Amino acid sequence: MEQAFKQAGLTVEVKSDILSWLKVHYLQQSLSAGGIAKAGSYENFAGSYHAVKEMVYAFREGVEVCEAQGISTKKIFPANMFRYPNFYWPLQ
């Protein structure tokens, strides 16, 4: 499979622990979709400090669950971004 992608001119990055990567990305996708659905639209979500803040805190909680399951999220994007202190996020 990797060779077929390379022959097609696509860059391939093989993840050694794909299940951990998938869990973090499922978390991110479900929280994003949930926040948008709760807000009623992407525009409402993106324009709401409260909605984005709620999603950030929910993602942090989900990352803690992943860590408790033995998943090292330090190098998995976007989980590593959610480690920034609250004051770093331009959410005011």
- Per-domain residue ranges of the chain: 18-82
The mean pLDDT of 25-54, rounded to a whole number, is 94
Average pLDDT over every residue of 40-61: 92
pLDDT at 46: 94
Specify the 3-state DSSP secondary structure of 87: helix
Return the residue matching tokens 């480690």: 83
- The stretch 43-70 carries a mean pLDDT of 92
Sign of CA dihedral 85, 88, 90, 92: positive
For the cut 60, the answer to whether the pLDDT of residue 2 exceeds it is: yes
Threshold 0.85, pTM exceeds: no
pLDDT surpasses 70 at 38? yes
